[in-house]
Structure 1
Amino acid sequence: MEYTTGAASWQKAMRRAVAALVPGRPRQRRPGWSIGVPMIAAAAGLLFTTTATTAGGTDLREDRRPQLTQLIEDRREQVAASELRAARLRAEVESETAARAGTDGPIKEQQDRALASREAAGFVALAGTGVTVELNDAPTDGPLPKGATNDDLVVHQGDVQAVVNALWAGGAEAMSIMNVRVLSTSAVRCVGNTLLLHGRVYSPPFKIVAIGDPAALQRALADSEGVGLFKQAVDHYQLGYSETVSAVTVPAFEDSTALRSATVPR
């Protein structure tokens, strides 16, 4: 224990009292943002450096649509060239077969059998009375109908399939889509608002032609649930639908006839 004199104790008490009355100097705190700003600046610099390295002098936000359009056009040209080559090879095969059939009995027999089935198989162009159905997207030059989305304003794969199935059910003897002969093995697919058929792409309006009894074909269209739903969309969203009866021509099937699988009918 420390003992002091009375004077010293009095002086200490006075100093403490004065110190209590005079406000002390507040402790200076280092604000958090003074530390965060350098970190943010460093991260931004790293981001800019990475972006410049990745871009390699090009615009990362460059519109790629022209490149995609060119790619599609290149593929179309390749498909067209392949189709011409395939048609030339088919002609050579048919010519060689016909030449051999003159001296080879079994080949002649099989050739006659194939020729007898060409019309039923779709390899012969047909003409007659029939029905033409045309499906089209809604116009895009005006405001959207109330409650509609862009998806409501285009023709879908199911809409085309509904028309095709109804026409087959109505007894169609032959059919074409966009002037391309369709068979039982043809697949109707849509990519966006375009139609993909036998490796080729078509834009709307989609034209479907069927040869057969017009009354039966139109009755089948009227009875089709899918076609009925599309007609409702025509009223609500201004989609295009037309149905006409006239003399029509359906071209022969000209694509590859190779089969991946087949079974013998019993």
Structure 2
Amino acid sequence: MNDHLDPGYAGAAEDRELGHAKPTRIGAGAWIAVGAALVGIVFGTAYAQASSSATDVDRTRTEMLAKVRSAEDQGRTLAAGRDELAARVEDLRARVLAGDAEGAEVLGRLRELEAAAAVEPVHGPGLVVTLTDPAARPDLSDSSQRVGGSPQAGVLDRDLQSVVNAMWASGAEAVAVGDVRVGPDVTIRQAGGAMLVDNQPVPSPYRVSAIGSQAKLQTAFVVSDAYLRMAAVRDLYGVGFTIADSGDLQLPAATGRETRFAQETGAP
């Protein structure tokens, strides 16, 4: 109650005595302009650096894609050359060995071994199992589109492995996934979002083709663990799962590799 005067009045009086003046509008405007210019310079520099980085990233990405496409083209060219040379070797071998009885016997044995190793193309009736990734992620805000389990679930490598193994167990004589023949040393693996069969990318839908007796294949497959597994995956996650007969399946040859070690394990 005794010190009722605001200290600001005393401060203002002291400033007047010392000759301090309040900044003019022009001076304040100048400082604001300088500050705005500094802020603009900072933002402009940041934008230029970001644009330069984005340009470098785009350039690097374009170069990497070009290298990938070049490597793919080179791989296709080498594969075509390999197939042409293999056909020439086959033709020359048939000419040399088919001339006498002993050579014909050796040639027949070689063809049996090649058929077992899946290194020659085959065709015939059989069964086709198709697995398809879900078309799109459902809208979880719409109760009519909700499905059990994870909405990101799709076909896994172990799903394809189980179907292929079930086909062999059902009596298949030859099996292919997409355009890749499944031979003795072929693997089915996932790498990120890509499905690799014999290290070759195979896109969805995954078509597992098996040559053999249609009735025997279908009867044995529908009671297999793979069928029960994929039926459950279809119902839970919306994965496509269909089975169809085919009168004439065309399966390509598998890639031949040098076998360094093998051991007989007994009857299958």
- With over 3 angstroms needed to count, the CA separation of the structure-2 counterparts of 1:113 and 1:217, relative to structure 1, is closer
Corresponding residue for 1:221?
A: 221
Corresponding residue for 1:240?
A: 240
Deviation of the 1:172 alpha carbon? 0.8
Conserved 8 A contact 2:150-2:237: no
For 1:69-218, what aligned pairs fall within 5 Å after superposition? 69-98=65-94, 100-101=96-97, 110-140=106-136, 142-143=138-139, 145-146=145-146, 148-152=149-153, 154-218=154-218
Deviation of the 1:137 alpha carbon? 0.9
Conserved 8 A contact 1:162-1:224: no
Conserved 8 A contact 2:128-2:244: yes
Task: Map Cα deviations across residues 137-169 of structure 1 (whole Å, 9 max, x no partner).
Answer: 1121752554754531x2111111111011111
How many equivalent residue pairs? 232
State the one-letter code of the partner of 2:251: P
State the one-letter code of the partner of 1:91: A
Deviation of the 1:192 alpha carbon? 3.6
Q: Which protein shows a greater Rg?
A: 1
Deviation of the 1:83 alpha carbon? 0.3
Conserved 8 A contact 2:167-2:217: yes
Corresponding residue for 2:258?
A: 259
Q: Aligned with 1:159: secondary structure?
A: helix
- With over 3 angstroms needed to count, the CA separation of the structure-2 counterparts of 1:86 and 1:234, relative to structure 1, is same
Conserved 8 A contact 1:130-1:213: yes
Structure 1: runs of 5+ lacking an equivalent? 1-23, 25-44
Counterparts of 1:128 and 1:141, CA distance in 2:
38
User: Which range moved further: 185-194 or 90-99?
Assistant: 90-99
Task: Map Cα deviations across residues 15-69 of structure 1 (whole Å, 9 max, x no partner).
Answer: xxxxxxxxx9xxxxxxxxxxxxxxxxxxxx8xx9999889866536659766665
Conserved 8 A contact 2:128-2:209: yes
State the one-letter code of the partner of 2:260: S
Structure 2: runs of 5+ lacking an equivalent? 1-6, 8-41
Q: Percent identity?
A: 24
Conserved 8 A contact 2:167-2:210: yes
TM-score (normalizing by structure 2): 0.65
State the one-letter code of the partner of 1:129: P
Task: Map Cα deviations across residues 211-255 of structure 1 (whole Å, 9 max, x no partner).
Answer: 223343234433333442332221233211110123132424152
Conserved 8 A contact 2:182-2:254: no
TM-score (normalizing by structure 1): 0.66
State the one-letter code of the partner of 1:196: L
For 1:21-32, what aligned pairs fall within 5 Å after superposition? none
Counterparts of 1:124 and 1:103, CA distance in 2:
22
Counterparts of 1:57 and 1:192, CA distance in 2:
27
Counterparts of 1:219 and 1:108, CA distance in 2:
38
State the one-letter code of the partner of 2:128: T
